[in-house]
Structure 1
Amino acid sequence: MYHVTKWTLNRGGGQGSTITLPPEEEQRATQNEFKECFSLYDKKQRGKIEAKDLMTVMRCLGTSPTHGEIERHLQVHKIDKKGELDFSSFLTMMHRQMQQEDPKTEILEALRMTDRQKKGFIPASELRAKLTMMGEKLTDREVDELFKEANVKSNGKVNYEEFTKMVTLPPVDY
């Protein structure tokens, strides 16, 4: 089962405070989050969602399944594209999806494609442009913080393997 190790409490729109939950509570919190999102798409309130909504629900919960992956999940559970699935099947699909997604590999692959000379480095300015203009766009301030944390000089080159290691490290508990 997927575990949430941090839970952010955000009251009144300000900065959230992060707390660490014990493993059993992590699992319960994660399952509750999944159930809540699942329930939003359970239009008839029968404990089932339509197969056509599976990708949307999975993406709402932070995964990035492709159409092919969704089709495979449905095939494994013998669910027609126009059919429905229950929460138990959904949990199994989420578990499999999360196991196969590896953010470290995805980031590394994206940065490798940027390295035209295949030397293991890309200009910091190019990385900044990609981070602020593509995908989930970061602000300049967020990129500055990321560069500072990863020890990247804004006018230098970025060793993208080291950068990927730094940005995918688990958060530090204080």
Structure 2
Amino acid sequence: MAKFFTPVQINEFKECFSLYDKKQKGKIVVKDLITVMRCLGTSPTFGEVERHLQVHKIEKSGELDFSTFLTMMHRQMQQEDPKAEILEALRMTDKQKKGFIQASELRAKLTMLGEKLTNKEGKWLPGRPALHHLARQRLQ
């Protein structure tokens, strides 16, 4: 798995993994897996985690080592595509199917979902009549 990750990534993964290795045996319990993966920037669903466990034949009450964890992280990162997810979310928000959404609507959605906007971002969004110049071609 080292060929798929940079040394910096592996060190970051190992550091986070070690925080959940409570017995210091080089393993984490399955119930902590989703937390560790999310701490490292992925967004697995419970179903995705269950599939990772099935592939490796690991029981829900079991443990996994760092090598297996790296394999799961690689598989998870391959299947996630943040750009596609963002564009799909924008597409779903574009109820009139015009290829853009109003800045005020984007701001409302972001803040409703708990996204904190900086003062600069908060001042920038309302001044924009629409965000079609950012994503119009991608929404089509």
TM-score by length of 2: 0.86
Amino acid of the structure 2 residue aligned with 1:53: D
Root-mean-square deviation (Å): 2.2
Tell me how far apart the structure 2 counterparts of residues 47 and 125 of structure 1 sit (CA, whole Å): 49
Q: 2:64 aligns with which of 81, 85, 88?
A: 85
Change beyond 3 A, Cα 1:143–1:105: farther
Which residue in the other structure is 1:30 paired with? 9
Q: 1:55 aligns with which of 24, 27, 34?
A: 34
Q: More deviation in 132-141 or 105-114?
A: 132-141
Q: Percent identity?
A: 71
Structure number having the greater strand percentage: 1
User: Where do 1:7-18 residues align within 5 Å?
Assistant: none
Which residue in the other structure is 2:76 paired with? 97
Which residue in the other structure is 1:74 paired with? 53
Unpaired stretches in structure 2, ≥5 consecutive residues = none
Unpaired stretches in structure 1, ≥5 consecutive residues = 3-26, 148-152, 166-174
Q: Is the 8 A contact 1:48 1:85 kept in 2?
A: yes
Poorly superposed stretches of 4+, deviation over 3 Å? 142-145
Q: 1:106 aligns with which of 71, 74, 85?
A: 85
Amino acid of the structure 2 residue aligned with 1:162: A
Structure number having the greater helix percentage: 2
Tell me how far apart the structure 2 counterparts of residues 162 and 79 of structure 1 sit (CA, whole Å): 42
Q: How far off its partner does 1:40 sit?
A: 0.3
User: Where do 1:114-129 residues align within 5 Å?
Assistant: 114-129=93-108
Q: How far off its partner does 1:130 sit?
A: 1.9
Which residue in the other structure is 1:18 paired with? none
Change beyond 3 A, Cα 1:108–1:143: farther
Q: Is the 8 A contact 1:132 1:140 kept in 2?
A: no
Bigger RCO (CA 8 Å, 6+ sep): 2
Which residue in the other structure is 2:132 paired with? 159
- For the residue of structure 2 that corresponds to 1:157, the secondary structure is coil
Tell me how far apart the structure 1 counterparts of residues 49 and 29 of structure 2 sit (CA, whole Å): 13
Q: How far off its partner does 1:104 sit?
A: 0.5
Q: How far off its partner does 1:162 sit?
A: 2.1
